[in-house]
Structure 1
């Protein structure tokens, strides 16, 4: 009889122990699904290799996860410039990694180095997928101005697993004479040379430098779904660039959407009404093409 009581007691204790362990496990999973904002994450060795990660509540490996690349003519700018977009997307259940990356210069840092930085970001996010309960691959990518250019080049030439692209006010074709004349008149050829690594002084009437062609996203368009957002009064990147990309995407048979923001300049989210157009379109696009 004593043996029977001992056996029953042992079974009860084991069941209680298992229940406690299961409860603990459930609690941990629940905690991991809370909204989180992780700041100043180092993803590489350079001082600019830092990002902030926004993780929505109730996320899963199917949740859209955007790599957000700031603008600044490849030579300035900061991830903090895009906080409002990241916060809005977070409120819509979309994960965001807002990234700083190396600035381009005339010596050793050009587009390939910038793309390497973004690649390190993608690999870091992938390596933490289990810890964060986020996707391991199939990230989305977005940027404004030069950040849009870097986003397009990364998706089209570096990482074919990118699910979708949102480019805002980005330059896409540096072989377009009208655009180059515009860039030269705006005294921006020097930053273009820093990004592309071009060493040849270009003047109207000259042949297009090879470095400009090799760093033009329109030359590498593929079928990754792409959203284009551009203001029709852009004073830095002519809206013609948006139409050039649209034409290339259409010819490639890619899924795309062109959103023209009436009256908006290069700072496309300057006015609240324009910001709302940009943010809501971006969120809808990511929910459609950045998930699963």
Structure 2
């Protein structure tokens, strides 16, 4: 037998063997990943630019990764408000960035600045994708109340690479006169003006301020699959807002799902049965539209 051929064959077999071992080794590393929680990670220069990162076991770049935004009328609230949902998503194999962001005010912090904060989060997650073995883009986004509003505006106007949106009990159209009348009666025009940057005093019968038009998600709907979750007894954001967004999504032919939670108020997860309904729907939606 030709000894040169034997040597070449042996080297070839050794190379294949090593290559196979490397692949198996990589699989072992991937499968041995443990769930991790990283707390108070700084993603920007402001004192409120901090977030908690939830990384599930056995994650990969195809794992759904949710940017989770708390509510609080744009001027209060904390990431800890979404802690229970984030822990549940972690248990279901979904990665989460649960964040704080700047509060709106009447001077220098309005919706554009809030959206900048969310953008910094997205870029931070992307830059750490290799380190964490997570996706580099195609994040999902969610929020409750004002956090839902910020989520929608970020996905519809600033980052079209968002894979899917889940909005819970969010205001979506500040050009709706009935809604504005409700907002005024509830003494919430001040916080609406802080978010939108509006300087005009609005009264029933007046023209809709341009700032309200520019900060209404229903006016900027795009093709990102969107889930709407709303309680039919919401005492803060009328359920009519959910139907307005549904109509806008339907008109654009967007994939969407509307989940009405019977008997639920603005704090939609207050009752255990409602919490389970919300959490289950969120997981199902993210596994359908937030992966790959």
What TM-score comes out, normalization by structure 1 length? 0.91
Partner of 1:208: 208
Residue deviations 1:116-141 (CA, integer Å, cap 9, x gap) = 00000000000000000000000000
CA distance in 2, matches of 1:28, 1:137: 25
Aligned to 1:246, the other structure's residue is in SS state helix
Partner of 1:67: 67
Map 1:153-164; keep pairs closer than 5 Å: 153-164=153-164
CA distance in 1, matches of 2:98, 2:31: 23
Map 1:121-160; keep pairs closer than 5 Å: 121-160=121-160
CA distance in 1, matches of 2:253, 2:31: 43
Partner of 1:240: 240
Aligned to 1:96, the other structure's residue is in SS state strand
Aligned to 1:191, the other structure's residue is in SS state helix
- Displacement after TM superposition at 1:68 (Å): 0.1
Residue deviations 1:186-244 (CA, integer Å, cap 9, x gap) = 00000000000000000111110000000000000011000000000000000000000
- Displacement after TM superposition at 1:256 (Å): 0.2
- Displacement after TM superposition at 1:30 (Å): 4.7
- Displacement after TM superposition at 1:31 (Å): 8.4
Partner of 1:12: none
RMSD between aligned alpha carbons? 2.0
CA distance in 2, matches of 1:157, 1:26: 39
**Aligned pairs, number:** 277
Partner of 2:8: none
- Displacement after TM superposition at 1:29 (Å): 2.9
Instruction: Structure 2: state its 5+ residue gaps.
Output: 1-14
- Displacement after TM superposition at 1:26 (Å): 5.1
CA distance in 2, matches of 1:66, 1:26: 26
1:262 and 2:257 are equivalent in the alignment: no
Q: Contact 1:40/1:51 (CA < 8 Å) preserved in 2?
A: yes
What TM-score comes out, normalization by structure 2 length? 0.91
Partner of 1:106: 106
Map 1:221-240; keep pairs closer than 5 Å: 221-240=221-240
- Structure 2 CA distance for partners of 1:160 and 1:32, relative to 1, 3 Å: farther
Partner of 1:286: 286
Partner of 1:166: 166
Aligned to 2:187, the other structure's residue is in SS state coil
